[in-house]
Structure 1
Amino acid sequence: MRRGIVLATVATLGLGLAACGGTAEKAADKMTEGNEAATTDAALTVWVDDNRKEAIEEAAKAYEEATGNKVAVVVKDIVKVKDDFQTQVSNGEGPDITVGAHDWLGAFVANGTVAPLELGDKAADYSEVAVKAFTYDGKGYGLPYAIENIAVIRNAKLADSTPATFEEFVAKGKAANVKYPFLVQLGEEGDPYTAYAFQTSFGAPVFESNENGYTDKLALGGENGVKFAEWLKANGKTGTGLLDTSINYDIAVEAFKNGEAPFIIGGPWMVGDFQKAGIEVAIDPIPSAGGQPAQPFVGVQGFYVSSKSKNALLASQFLTDFVGTKDVQLAIYKAGNRTPALKAAAEEASSDAVTAGFAKVAEGAVPMPSIPAMGTVWGFWGKTEAAIVNGEDPKAAWEKMVSDIQAEIDKLAK
C-alpha cells in the first residue's frame, strides 16, 4: 500500500547477461554446451515478500521439474529488501534474484548491484510502461510482474462519471451534495506523489527525458511549474479550500468509506476497504487542471538479478521462462490485486472492472523516475506544496524549491 511519498520511495550494474536474446531455446543451448554440471548442481536463491511467496514457489517447482535445478525461496520483509540486498551483494553474498520496485533501479545501477536482463523479443509481451520502467540508460534490468498507479476512484452511487477537466470535476462533486466534492490526501508534509497528475497537466514533469529515459535535468521549474504552484494556492487555504493539508491518507480513506465524497484520488490499495464498506466503486482517469493530459506516476514491481550471482544465466532463464508466464503473473495478481505487467495476464485480469480501470489509466501514466537524483526531490517538493496550499507565495516558494533541489543534485554529481 502506498501512503504518499514515504512508501512511494520505498515501494517507490555490472555483469552483462543479455538474457540469451530473451529466449528459452538459446538458454537451453547454453546450458548443454559443455555445462552439464551447471544443470545438475547449480541452485538459485530468490528473495520474495510474503505476498509473492506462494506464486514464486509454484514457478520454482515447475523450474525444478523442467531443469533439475533447485530453487530456494526466502521470504524477506519488503521494507528491508533494498538495503539488505545492496549490502549483501557488495560483500559478494546475497541471493541470485530479489523482488523489488523499479524506482530502486537508479541506486542499484550506481552501486553495481544488479545485472542487465534484456527481455529481447519477449519485451513485446509486456506493458510498454513496465518495460520502460525497468530500462536505465537504454539498457533493460529486471523482469516486471505488476503495475500500480493512482486514478480517480468514484462512488458510483454518488456520481455517474468523472469529467475530463478539473472545473467540471469540482462542479460534479459539489452536485452530489455531500461533505467533500472530492478527496485527495496531502497531509502536513504534502504529497507530490498523489498530486503529480495535476502537476503534469500544467506541463511541468519532475525531470526531462530523452530516448533513454529520464535525465537528471529538472523540468518542474519555469513558467509551467509556477502556474501549477499558483493553482495550488488558488485551491488552498486562502482560496477555494479544495486542497487541505489536514486531509491525510487515513482521513481521506475514512471519509470516502463513509460516503462523504463522490471521488477520491488514490490507488488499488484503497479499494478493498471501500468494497468492504459496501461502496460500489468505478475507476476513471484523473481530470486535467492545467489543460494538458494528467499523467500520474506508475510504479512497477519486478525481479532483479544480482550482479554477483554465480548462476546468472540460470537466474535469467528462471525469470523469463517461468516467472514471466501468464499463470504465475495471474497468481501474483490474485495475491496483491495489482495489474499484471504481462499483457496476456493483464487481459485476463481485466475481466475485473476495477483492475481494467486502473490499467486504462496506466496507459497514460509515466514511470516514477528511478534515477539517483530522484532521491533529492521528495522532501523539498512535498513541504513546498504544503506551504503553498497553506498560503505562502507560490512563485517565490516554488522557485526556491527548484533551487534547493538543484543544489542537492549538484552535490550528487561531485
Structure 2
Amino acid sequence: MKVNKKSIVAFGAMAAVSSLALVGCASGGSGGGSTDAPDAAGTLTVWVDADRAGVLKEPAAEFTQETGVKVNLVQKDFGEIRDQFISQVPTGKGPDIAVGAHDWLGTLVTNGVVAPVELGDTAADYEKVAIDAWSYDGQVYGVPYSIENIALMRNTALAPEAPATWDDMIAAGTAAGTEYKFLVGLDPEAGDPYHMYPFQTSFGAPVFGTNADGTYNPDDLQIGNAGGEAFAQWLAAQGAAGILNPNISGDLARENFVGGKSPFFLTGPWNVPAAQEAGIDIAIDAVPTSGGEAAQPFVGVQGFFMSAKSENVVAATNFLTNYVGSEEVQTALYEVGGRAPALSSAFDAAVAADPIVAGFGEVGATAVPMPNIPEMGSVWEFWGVTENAIVKGEGDPVALWQKMAADIQAAIAR
C-alpha cells in the first residue's frame, strides 16, 4: 500500500533535528532501549479497533521503514476508547493517536487531552462536512476518514420514484398496499431523536444555533422555537395515525422492510447488507421534507486524533496527515467499514463505483454534523423520551416540547 509521501522528506529533516525529543512517547517510551534506528527515533502508540487495526498494519510498517519511528497498534473496544483516553492521557500512559467519533471532541477538548492537528492546505482535500465535524473553537482536532448518516432506503419494486415530501412518501406507501407505509426504528422507552432529526430540521428547529464560522453555539438553544412546536404537533399527528410506532424497534423495522412489508425505511448503511441479501433492489434517497425546509440528518464522522501529551508530535502529525490521510488508506478503511471516505478523492471514487454509497454520500454532503459540544449531553437526556411521549399521545405536544426545552436549558446552565 503506497501512501502520500509529499511531506516525508520535510519530516526527515525535522526528525533529524528533534530526534532526541522524540525518544519515548506518551505511552511509555521506546519500549526496550535498543540502539536500532526505529527505537532511537521513538515510538508511536495508536489505539484502534479491530477493523482499523488490520488496515493500518501495512501503512504503519511503511511509516517505520520511511522514518525509523515504530508504530505500536493497540486494539481497543471502540466504545471504551474515549473514556480510557480521558483517564490515561493525563497520567502519561495514554497513546499518541487514537481512533474515535467526532462528537467526542467537545469532551476531549474540555478535558485538555487532545491536540489540534495541523492540516494546513490539505484541509481542502477533505469533504467540508468532515472538517467541520472535527473542528472546535476554530481549530481542527483530527484527520477524518469516514462519513456516516441515515437516508431513505426505498424498495424500488414497491415504489419506483423517490418521494420529495413526507406526504408524497405516505401516498406512495398507501398505493403500494403494504402493511406499513413507512418504517423507522424507535426505542419503546427512549424514542430515537437521531432518526427523527431530519424531520425536525425540516420544520426549522435545529438543536443549537450556529456561530458565523458554522460551529454550534451552546448559548443559542433553538430546539424550543416555533418550528420545534410545529414539529411536536406533527409528531403527535403521525403517532395518532399509527405511522410512527414506538413499538417497532430498529430490528423489527429492518425485519419488516426486508420482508417486503414497506416500500420505505429510514436507516443507515448498516442495514444495506440485510436488504441486499433478501434480494431487494434498493435505492437510497434524500429524506423527504415534512415541514417544508430541507430535511437534514446528523452526520457522524470518524477519524484519528492526537494526544495533547504526546512526546512525538512531529511523527504523530506525519503519520496522521501523510498516511491515515492518504487516498490509499482512506479507500482501504472504506472497504472495511462500508462508510463513505472523508478524503474527497477517495469519496468521489467510492461514489462513482457504488450507487448505494453515492446515495448516502449525497445526503451526507448536505447533512449537519452531530454537535460535538459538551452541552449536547444535556439534550439527549430529555429529547428522546419527550418525543416518545408525544408520539404516544401522553399530553399536549407543545406543552411537552416546551417543558423539554426548559429542562435542557436548565441542565446546560448547571
| TM-score calculated relative to the size of structure 1 | 0.91
Matched, 1:408 2:378: no
* In 2: Cα distance, 1:34 partner to 1:371 partner: 35
What is the CA-CA distance between 1:46 and the residue it aligns to?
Answer: 0.5
Structure 2 equivalent of residue 396 of structure 1? 399
8 Å contact kept, 1:376–1:405: yes
Please point out which of 361, 371, 374 is paired with 2:373.
371
Separation (CA, whole Å) in 2 of partners of 1:311 and 1:68: 13
Alignment partners' CA distance in 2, 1:120 and 1:294: 32
Aligned to 2:33: none
Residue 90 (structure 1) shift: 2.1
How big is the shift at 1:24? 4.7
> How many residues are aligned here?
388
Among residues 219, 222, 243, which one is paired with 1:219 in the alignment?
Answer: 222
Given that 1:193 and 1:297 are in contact with CA atoms closer than 8 Å, whether structure 2 keeps it comes out as yes
Structure 1 unaligned residues grouped into runs of 5+: 1-21
**Cα shift at 1:29:** 3.5
Q: How is 1:238-257 mapped onto 2 (pairs within 5 angstroms)?
A: 238=240, 240-257=241-258
* Partner Cα distance (1:309, 1:35) in 2: 14
Correspondences of 1:269-284 after superposition (within 5 Å): 269-284=270-285
Tell me if 1:30 matches 2:14: yes
State the Cα deviation string for residues 350-375 of structure 1 (Å, max 9, x = none): 11111111000011100000100001
- Post-superposition Cα deviations, 1:112-137, rounded to whole Å, max 9, x if no partner, equal 01001121110111000000000001
Supply the distance in 1 between the matched residues of 2:174 and 2:57 (Cα, whole angstroms): 49
Aligned-residue RMSD, C-alpha: 1.4
Q: Distance in 2 between matches of 1:263 and 1:339?
A: 22
Identity, % of aligned positions: 51
Q: Determine the C-alpha separation between the residues in 1 that align with 2:41 and 2:126.
A: 32
- Aligned residue in 2 for 1:10: none
The answer on whether the counterparts of 1:23 and 1:120 sit within 8 Å (CA) in structure 2 is no
Matched to 1:332, the amino acid is L
Return the letter of the residue paired with 1:84: Q
1:245-292 CA deviation, whole Å, 9 max, x = no partner?
A: 111111101101101110100000111111111111110000000000
> What's 1:161 paired with?
161
Residue 26 of structure 1 deviates from its aligned partner by 4.5
Q: Pick closer, same or farther for the CA change 1:312–1:34 going to 2, 3 Å.
A: closer
The CA deviation string for residues 311-346 of structure 1, in whole angstroms up to 9 with x for no partner, is 011101001001111111111111110000011111
Q: Secondary structure at the match of 1:372?
A: coil
Deviations 1:63-89 (A, max 9, x none): 112111110111101111111111111
What one-letter code is carried by the residue in structure 1 that aligns with 2:396?
Answer: D
Match of 1:286 in 2: 287
Unaligned segments of structure 2, at least 5 residues:
1-5, 23-37
Q: 1:34 deviation in Å?
A: 5.5
Q: CA deviation at 1:23?
A: 5.1
For residues 118 and 273 of structure 2, the distance between their equivalents in structure 1, rounded to whole angstroms, comes to 35
SS of alignment partner, residue 184 of structure 2: coil
Provide the rounded CA distance (Å) in 2 between the counterparts of 1:34 and 1:343: 33
What is residue 387 of structure 2 aligned with on the other side?
385
Judge which range, 38-47 or 179-188, deviates more. 38-47
CA distance in 2, matches of 1:215, 1:98: 27
Q: Is the 8 A contact 2:21 2:311 kept in 1?
A: no
Bigger radius of gyration among the two: 2
Q: 4+ residue stretches of structure 1 with deviation over 6 A?
A: none
- 1:25 deviation in Å? 5.4
Give the CA deviation at 1:399: 0.3
Letter in 2 for 1:55: V
Deviation at 1:32, TM superposition (A): 2.9
1:41 Cα shift? Answer: 2.5
What's 1:68 paired with?
68
Aligned partners of 1:111 and 1:211: how far apart in 2?
A: 25
- State the distance in 1 between where 2:307 and 2:18 align: 24
Partner of 1:86: 86
Contact kept? 2:116, 2:140, Cα under 8 Å: yes
The answer to whether the Cα contact below 8 Å between 1:130 and 1:300 also exists between their aligned partners in 2 is yes
Aligned to 1:184: 184
Local SS of the residue matching 1:44? strand
Find the aligned partners of 1:226 and 1:114 in 2 and give their Cα distance. Answer: 38
Give the TM-score normalised by the residue count of structure 2: 0.91
Aligned-residue offset at 1:37 = 7.6
Distance 1:290 1:25, change over 3 A: farther
Counterpart of 2:374 in structure 1: which amino acid? P
- The whole-number CA distance in structure 2 between the counterparts of 1:177 and 1:69 is 62
Letter in 1 for 2:95: P
In the alignment, the residues of structure 2 paired with residue 310 and residue 224 of structure 1 have an alpha-carbon distance, to the nearest angstrom, of 49
Letter in 2 for 1:262: P
